[in-house]
Structure 1
């Protein structure tokens, strides 16, 4: 039973820009541009991959799934951040905050795992080219994506079980939207078990896939160096360069966020870093994969060029 002085938290105050009112217009323009590019770019990638039969391959199946994940990530937090640019001390209800936070967590973890799966696909394509179709069967592809969904869902459910239960009236989140780390720092109940699980989750969901990707690309690099023709090496590298660029942006910011010493309260630095992996990755992904990919460009003209010429 709670004490008479206990205050029940029913809503949270987001102070992402409240301390910098002069920057609201600038951040609104940034959030709007990022949201439009992410939504239109990832939506276009999904349409092209589904509509064009020449993109019906394991690599593009994973890319379509990644674009779907990025589409959800951008829509889980960016609309809230856009609206909040016009308010001083904007509020969000407790349960709406939980939904926003755990949807974001679910799909961030899913993206971590998907990028590792895509690295394995590139490894099979370059290091085992003669057996690629047997290795990357559609049964394995759907099984890997199903595993990513199931694992990230289980991780999210466990995080919900370990979330803080008492906030002692603390309801100010120093962020643009509800974010798990900022949310947990408000709790005043015993969080030792939850904190231990968070550390384990970082090891399993971030570090392990990252190490797998590094090892995969190490072996890919060795295989590329063994290719005798410069044209063959260039072609092999081009199939990996887009994925490698996405991995660098996404994991670079995630590792900075979660491996550095964690302060007891959220800082402006936390907000900037979370923007990098939560907003920029979903914005840059469709640009990287479309601008650097001849197959995607060709699919665009086959799908939309035909309709424009009718």
Structure 2
């Protein structure tokens, strides 16, 4: 009987949000629109940074990679979620599950390190402006970006690799994507080691990157308060405001799910929080970093003007 259960549980059902067909159709439209905006906003920002030479600075290189990771996170989760809104079974194979979590984990972990690198970049720009080009060289920028991607990939490989020690008896995942904790509940083998390693690695990544962010912002705020010019203070604060807002939202939602002690009722709160960090944050980030950013707005105007002139010719 055990062997039969093990062999059957190579596919799962994502229960998602609801079983009501009318509500599913409405949710499909809502999340499809959100998905389009996420992809256009983030990939558009990546294209803008690539095309505009004036944006080839460390801050915007980090931002472009952040936008790319937000697109990766959305691509990992949303297409399957949309498919399940219009399909009757909501099936997903074990290997699709692993691939989905791999890309999700890769994107979120890489985001953590990129946000920390952006905090350090702002620290150098505000606290040591005369040494900025020396300390934030192109070489260091490439190293930090590459390190963020390597760390994201390594964390994902470890977590997905640990899944191979598990066998699964259950088949209903109480979530809209293959997150680890709902999957652990279906395991025939005690998933204690997996859950422990997930919390330890997630906790280590978050602790390390949050520490860098907090130390950077401590020195940034200290430097800003020492400034005599109100205009200088306002400019420095506006430079950091969008990044600090993004950091607060992102880290807050991840800490809520992956580091806090288990209460046994994760499914009651994980789905709303997961919507937040897989849909809302990738949706908001392009607007947070673009709408109040004069350099980005001016870059858009220059490209639109140039394209318009080429069309008129």
Give the drift of 1:202: 2.1
> Gaps (5+ residues) in structure 1?
none
Q: Residue 136 of structure 1 aligns with which residue?
A: 136
TM-score with structure 1 length normalisation?
0.94
SS of equivalent to 1:18 = coil
For these two proteins, the number of residue pairs brought into alignment is: 309
Distance in 2, matches of 1:292 and 1:136, equals 24
Aligned to 2:246: 246
How far is the alpha carbon of 1:265 from its aligned partner? 6.2
Q: 1:22 offset after TM fit, Å? A: 4.9
Query: Where do residues 124-273 of structure 1 align in structure 2 (5 Å cutoff)?
Result: 124-163=124-163, 165-264=165-264, 266-273=266-273
Aligned-pair CA distance for 1:280:
1.0
Distance in 1 between residues matched to 2:199 and 2:166, nearest whole Å = 21
Listed one character per residue, the Cα deviations across residues 28-85 of structure 1 (whole Å, up to 9, x for unaligned) are 2331222111100011111111111111111111111111111111111111111211
Secondary structure in 1 aligned to 2:112? helix
What is the aligned partner in structure 1 of residue 39 from structure 2? 39
Contact 1:13/1:92 (8 A) holds in 2:
yes
Return 5+ residue gaps in structure 2 as ranges: none
Q: Over residues 93-150 of structure 1, what are the superposed CA-to-partner deviations in whole Å (9 max), with x where a residue is unaligned?
A: 2211111111111111000111011000000100111101000001100001111111
Counterpart Cα distance in 2 of 1:142 and 1:185? 40
- The equivalent of 2:295 in structure 1 is 295
For residue 62 of structure 2, what is the aligned residue in structure 1? 62
Cα drift, residue 3 of structure 1 = 4.7
Structure 2 vs 1, CA of residues 218 and 21 (structure 1 numbering), >3 Å: closer, same or farther? farther
More deviation, 9-18/256-265: 256-265
Cα distance in structure 1, aligned partners of 2:183 and 2:216: 35
Once the two structures are superposed, residues 197-218 of structure 1 have per-residue CA deviations (whole angstroms, 9 ceiling, x without a partner) of 1221122111221122122111
How far apart, CA to CA, are the structure 2 residues paired with 1:21 and 1:207? 42
Mean Cα deviation higher: 163-172 or 271-280: 163-172
- Give the Cα–Cα distance (whole angstroms) in 1 for the partners of residues 178 and 193 of structure 2: 22
Question: Using the alignment, how far apart are the partners of 2:155 and 2:90 within structure 1?
Answer: 30
Q: Which moved more, 1:280-289 or 1:185-194?
A: 185-194
Q: Distance in 2 between matches of 1:105 and 1:119?
A: 21
Does the 8 A contact of 1:174 with 1:266 survive in 2?
A: no
Which is further off, 109-118 or 29-38?
A: 29-38
How has the CA–CA distance of structure 1 residues 210 and 26 changed in structure 2, closer, same or farther, with 3 Å as cutoff? farther
Task: Please give the alpha-carbon distance, in whole angstroms, between the structure 1 residues aligned to 2:293 and 2:210.
Answer: 24
RMSD across aligned C-alpha pairs, in angstroms? 1.8
- 1:208 and 1:4 map into 2 onto residues whose CA distance is 42
Distance 1:211 1:71 in 2: 26
TM-score (norm 2): 0.93
Note the C-alpha offset of 1:219. Answer: 1.2
